[in-house]
């Protein structure tokens, strides 16, 4: 069988002093960090779309990367070649999971029935490779945003026929996810938003989106899906405003529509920054509200206002991300999906391997630092101490629910002015992080 990534050897861990670009410097899959092997802690996944599909096309130019994988324009042949190329790539990199959109796997047909047929054929090809390699599916999703029929949205479309078509597509994408034994199913509402409120019935659109999510849960549970559903927040792009703006607005939506027991969040780093938050903020918000699920691992460019989906190389960001993951007790059904693509100028197939190596190493370093941060304990102790006044006296009465506005007013009247505030010590804490980060 032909090799698609012929320049890429089997990638192994060689340690931080290695200068081999085709080696991991920090990701040592079987090493135990924080009570589990690094491969279990990190649960890396390959994104089918970016890795096997994205060819460098942007708003101003056509593709720069040849991803025909030796095929001649026949879309089904290409879809099969992508399966072979994808599994070769995951094996070479030691990636245990993949994530997919229905449309990444197989070409759309002239009818929905024909699309289903194409998907069935590729499903069988993938199942063979999964069995051979032991590689698993992290999550599946449906692309309800690229085709022109979704110009006004899918679940939030003003046209009921579009809603029905999306339902037909999602049903099949759930079937595929279940067939692959996937542990998650994602909804990213790329066009579930609006361009102008002048033509939009927001209430109707949100009610309908919830109807679609409810139908998906009901169907999936009946056919045996026991994994998590995820909503992946993103504030804008392609629409001006997306309803799943950030973790906070998405959680409010899930609670309002009673979807909170089936859904968690898939937090993407680049979407967090587009919403004006840090990656860590979104993870913390999801986690402390009980909605932490999975992660789309990438990074944006702070000087650009769009979703650049770059491979993560910022160790500070991944350290704070893995700190939140460890605090959560690690992933259950979720993992780290590299929703990331090489830059348009990095047009060789081996650039994708370099990109994954740096992404995986950046997360491996992040995990090592986060574990040290927790072992070190200085940050956690500081935070605990900062709120110590709630463990005794009037603070304990507030927390236990014993205090009322009236009793607190009486307390305040007797107390006089507050003289016990303590420094927030931000700079000292930032120094501790640097000290731990660079002592590795």
Pick left, alpha or beta for residue 97 (phi over 0 → left; psi -120 to 50 → alpha; otherwise beta): beta
SS3 312: coil
106 burial class (0-12, 13-18, 19+ CB within 10 angstroms)? Answer: buried
Q: Is 188 in the site for ligand XLS (CB under 6 A)?
A: yes
Supply the minimum distance, in Å, between the C-beta of residue 392 and ligand XLS: 46
Q: How far, in Å, CA of 135 to CA of 95, rounded?
A: 8
CA distances 398 to 342, 387, 413, Å, are 52, 12, 16
DSSP for 90-155, please give it. HHHHT--EEEEEHHHHS---SSHHHHHHHHHHHHHHHHHHHHHH--EEEEEE---SSSGGGTT-ST
Supply the minimum distance, in Å, between the C-beta of residue 293 and Ca ion: 13
Residues 321-340, one symbol each (x = binds ligand XLS by CB under 6 A, - = not), give ------------------x-
Supply the minimum distance, in Å, between the C-beta of residue 170 and ligand XLS: 12
Catalytic residue (choose from 104, 175, 296, 309): 104
- How many C-beta neighbours within 10 Å does residue 409 have? 10
Bridge partners (DSSP) listed for residue 139: 99, 184
Would you say 234 or 372 has its CB closer to ligand XLS? 234
Tell me the two tokens of residue 391.
């463990």
Residues 351-390, one symbol each (x = binds ligand XLS by CB under 6 A, - = not), give ----------------------------------------
Q: Is 150 in the site for ligand XLS (CB under 6 A)?
A: no
Q: How far, in Å, CA of 44 to CA of 90, rounded?
A: 10
Q: Which residue is nearest to ligand XLS (CB)?
A: 188
Q: Is 339 in the site for Ca ion (CB under 5 A)?
A: yes
Catalytic residue (choose from 50, 96, 101, 296): 101
SS3 309: coil
Catalytic status, residue 152: no
Q: Which of residues 216-275 bind ligand XLS (CB under 6 A)?
A: 232, 234, 268
Q: Which of residues 274-333 bind Ca ion (CB under 5 A)?
A: 296, 307, 309
Catalytic status, residue 101: yes
Positions that interact with Ca ion (CB under 5 A): 268, 296, 307, 309, 339
- Residues that are catalytic: 101, 104
Positions that interact with ligand XLS (CB under 6 A): 101, 141, 186, 188, 232, 234, 268, 296, 307, 339
């Amino acid at each position: 069988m032909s090799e698609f990534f012929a320049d890429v050897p089997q990638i192994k861990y060689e340690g931080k002093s290695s200068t081999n670009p085709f080696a991991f410097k920090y990701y040592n899959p079987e090493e135990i960090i924080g009570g589990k092997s690094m491969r279990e802690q990190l649960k890396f996944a390959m994104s089918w779309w970016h890795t096997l599909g994205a060819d460098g096309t942007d708003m101003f130019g056509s593709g720069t990367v040849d991803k025909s994988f030796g095929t001649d324009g026949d879309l089904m042949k290409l879809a099969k070649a992508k399966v072979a190329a994808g599994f070769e790539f995951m094996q070479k990199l030691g990636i245990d999971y993949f994530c997919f959109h229905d449309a990444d796997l197989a070409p759309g047909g002239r009818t929905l029935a024909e699309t289903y047929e194409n998907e069935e054929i590729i499903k069988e090809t993938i199942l063979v490779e999964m069995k051979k390699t032991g590689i698993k599916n992290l999550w599946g999703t449906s692309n309800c945003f690229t085709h022109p029929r979704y110009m006004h949205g899918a679940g939030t479309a003003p046209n009921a026929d579009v809603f029905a078509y999306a339902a037909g597509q999602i049903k099949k994408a759930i079937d595929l996810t279940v067939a692959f034994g996937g542990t998650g199913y994602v909804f990213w509402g790329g066009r579930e938003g609006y361009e102008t409120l002048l033509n939009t019935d927001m209430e109707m659109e949100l009610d309908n989106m919830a109807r679609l999510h409810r139908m998906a849960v009901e169907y999936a549970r009946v056919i045996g899906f026991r994994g998590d559903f995820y909503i992946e927040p993103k504030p804008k792009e392609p629409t001006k405003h997306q309803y799943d703006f950030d973790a906070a607005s998405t959680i409010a939506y899930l609670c309002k529509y009673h979807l909170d027991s089936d859904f968690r969040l898939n937090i993407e780093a680049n979407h967090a920054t587009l919403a004006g938050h840090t990656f860590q903020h979104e993870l913390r918000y999801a986690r402390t509200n009980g909605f932490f699920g999975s992660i789309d691992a990438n990074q944006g460019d702070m000087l650009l206002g769009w979703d650049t989906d770059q491979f993560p190389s910022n160790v500070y960001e991944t350290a704070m991300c893995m700190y939140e993951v460890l605090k959560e007790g690690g992933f259950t059904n979720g993992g780290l999906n590299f929703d990331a693509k090489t830059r348009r100028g990095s047009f060789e197939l081996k650039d994708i391997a370099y990109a994954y190596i740096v992404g995986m190493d950046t997360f491996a370093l992040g995990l090592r630092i986060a574990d040290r941060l927790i072992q070190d304990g200085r940050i956690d102790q500081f935070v605990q101490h900062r709120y110590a006044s709630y463990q005794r006296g009037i603070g304990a009465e507030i927390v236990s629910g014993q205090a009322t506005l009236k009793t607190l007013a009486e307390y305040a009247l007797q107390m006089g002015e507050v003289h016990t505030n303590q420094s927030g010590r931000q700079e000292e804490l930032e120094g501790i992080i640097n000290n731990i980060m660079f002592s590795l």
